[in-house]
Amino acid sequence: MNDIVTVEVTDDIALVIISNPPVNAINQKVRSGLMTAFQTVDQDNNVRAVVLKCAGRTFMAGADIKEFDEPIAEPGYHEVFRVIESCSKPVIAAMHGTALGAGLEAALACHYRCAVENARMGLPEVSLGIIPGAGGSQRLPRLIGAKEALEFILGGVTVSATEAYKIGILDRVIKEDLMEGTLEYIGSLLADGVGPRKVSEMLVDKSGYGEEFLVDARKLSARRLRGQNAPNLVIEAINNAVNLPFEEGIRKEKIIGDKALVSKEAKALRNIFFSEREIGKIPGISSDTKRMQINNVAILGSGTMGGGIAMNFANAGIPAVILDVSEAVLQRGIAVVRENYENTVKRGRLSKSDMVDRMELISGTTDYNAIAESDLVIEAVFEDIDLKKKVFKKIDGICKPEAIIATNTSTLNINQIAAVTKRPEKIIGLHFFSPANVMKLLEIVRAEKTSPEVLATAIDTAKRIKKIGVVAGVCFGFIGNRMMAEGFHREADQMLLEGASPQQIDQVMYGFGFPMGPFAMHDMAGVDIMHSILKTTGKKENNREPYFNVLYQVGELGRFGQKTGSGFYRYDEGSRRPLHDPVTDALILQEAERLGIKRTTIENSEIEQRCMYSLINEGAKILEEGIAYRPGDIDVIWSYGYGFPRFRGGPMYMADQIGLETIYEAVMSYRDKFGDYWTPAPLLETLARDKKTFADWNIA
């Protein structure tokens, strides 16, 4: 044993206690301590039963992911869990908080499992490109059946203790005190003379686990985890549980697991995992930085975005009032909110009572004075800087002095908006992504005079409403939209003029791993959004280095996408399926001719490279300018906000894998061919010259 794993014996019950804060992650010290502890209690004749529990706020929340890039130090998971399962006394896992990954696998190695009612558990390894490789792929099918085990693992979700009990993972759900309930359960086991019950010795229930089920499972995984190989490895491991003795299945699980652990896919997914955990580390912000209390919010605008933002706060139990210009507009917006909740209830993801509770937290008003005491006010009006300035100037005189006022702008200069108020230090950008009640990303834009207190409060608020909050600086489009507009999508638009079609480019980007291509995305989001930005920001240029010439012309025709039945594609009434439209072809040809661009065939490989290298080059500029703090911040934004395939690790991580020298040389060749707008970012040039990576770079 060691100071992380201790044993306490009370009467004839041994408590094996893990204390490895903050989340009791399983590392070498935990494994070593567990092995010694269980060897000790197994030899103690005074011990009749063993409880495996954890100190602190949670059970074991998984393996220590920092060990994944190195060979697992001995003792390994299989060896330790075999010792637990082989104990001659009944071993009961007592779970609270979260039991995830290897934490749940440790519980599966115990003979019985209890959990407090609000505990949650799951095997989310597939989201990291790996399999449950600590015995989970072999024990879970024996415990709950092969079909149920495969669905549980491929789903990658956490379930409540009640649900875990229903599907057979738990033996008892404890409604009151965890230890009191666990000891009561142990007493009943001992009174009945029940001894150890090894999951490894159970027979696998194969009901429903046939070829038809596996075909459907593969199709579902291919849609949900497109481009990832981990689901196939999970199926292989479960098949081994079905067809092989336990020890042989465990041996093959280790082979499969070790292979998955070092795959490019798993390493890329780990980059997103680690980057997500770094985003809250902001220079000048610490745990000592004062925070403001956000007990209520006001949202200006009841449109799709405003209503979605209100839902985020209601979901977190925070009252939200929506302000709009007329009662009719307001009621339409609130009706959409209600419809969204009703659809969630129909899908079984929300109870009716919870819906009622959340709707009661959302109110509407047409009176600006109703927001006077709001702690946080979020403006979500039309993307026009003059309108936003007018709104901010008005509410600055109404809101209480300590209130934070945020703008949901996706592109505009927040410093200019803040300048019209008497509280620039309390102005911040909170850029929600549409649909705001679904998308997890939140760009937190620090203006020039935003105070540390306001920034820290915004970061904490993002966590409170379960958003991935990434801090950005002020520039056109901040991080995500700037990279999209100044790089990826602009280059795609340019290639339309040079010879590609919307269908070809969209197919290439879909094949790359995006959920949809750039032109299908414009049609879905609304072509009018970028068209308006081009008009109001002066980004539109009529020269050899065009800025969304085709998109601009599509917008000029009022072809705003799905909502108007035509954009880059046409749409049948009531359908979202994009169809080829000769009108778009003619428009592209006309615009190319007007600009004197000779169209030719563009290979798919060039489309992918130009879209991605322009994106990466703009990301390098953003890093050097300090708009983003870390390369990983960019990777998180593009993963969560723009559908960048997670199995590629984000654009900046992908760039490091390709090699910055290779990218720099390609960018230089495109500059020579197409002009100065392809000039390499100075940071890209420096890192390529020094044979370094974005991961080597640090703004400090």
| CA separation for the pair 508, 319 (Å, rounded) | 44
Residue 649 near residue 269, CB atoms below 8 Å: yes
Q: Answer for the pair 129, 266: CB distance below 8 angstroms, yes or no.
A: yes
According to DSSP, residue 488 is labeled I
- Find, among 118, 234, 227, the residue nearest to 176 by Cα: 118
Main-chain dihedrals φ then ψ at residue 617, nearest 5 degrees = -60, -40
- Pairing relationship of beta strands 49-54 and 98-100 according to DSSP bridges: unpaired
Q: Are 470 and 636 in contact (CB under 8 A)?
A: yes
- Cα atoms in the 13 Å half-sphere on the side-chain side of 647: 22
Reference 587, options 504, 502, 484; nearest CA is: 502
The letter for the amino acid at 659 is G
Strand segments, DSSP code E, in 424-512 are 427-432, 441-446, 468-472
Number of Cα atoms under 13 Å in the Cβ half of residue 277: 7
Q: Token pair 């970012």 is at which residue?
A: 681
- The pair of structure tokens assigned to 408 is 């949901």
Residue 41 near residue 1 (C-beta atoms within 8 A): no
| Residue among 600, 646, 623 at smallest CA distance from 696 | 623
Which one of 67, 79, 105, 383 is the catalytic residue? 105
- Is 105 assigned a catalytic role? yes
405 phi, psi to nearest 5 deg? -115, 125
Phi, then psi, of 458 in degrees rounded to 5: -65, -40
Q: What are phi and psi of 271, to 5 degrees?
A: -60, -45
d(CA 307, CA 616): 34
Q: Which of 499, 508, 522 is nearest to 569 (CA)?
A: 522
User: Amino acid identity, residue 292?
Assistant: M
Q: For residues 568 and 29, give the distance between their C-alpha atoms in angstroms, rounded to a whole number.
A: 58
* CB distance 109 to 79 below 8 Å: no
On the 0-12 / 13-18 / 19+ scale of CB atoms within 10 A, 130 is buried
Count CA within 13 A, CB hemisphere, residue 646.
Answer: 22
Query: Are residues 8 and 17 in contact, defined by beta-carbon separation less than 8 angstroms?
Result: yes
49 membership: H or E segment, kind and range:
strand 49-54
Selected catalytic residue, list 125, 148, 253, 591: 125
Query: By C-alpha distance, which of 401, 364, 356, 395 is closest to 378?
Result: 395
User: Where does 186-319 show beta strands of DSSP type E?
Assistant: 297-300
Which of 476, 491, 431 has its CA nearest to residue 616? 491
Query: Which residue numbers are catalytic?
Result: 105, 125
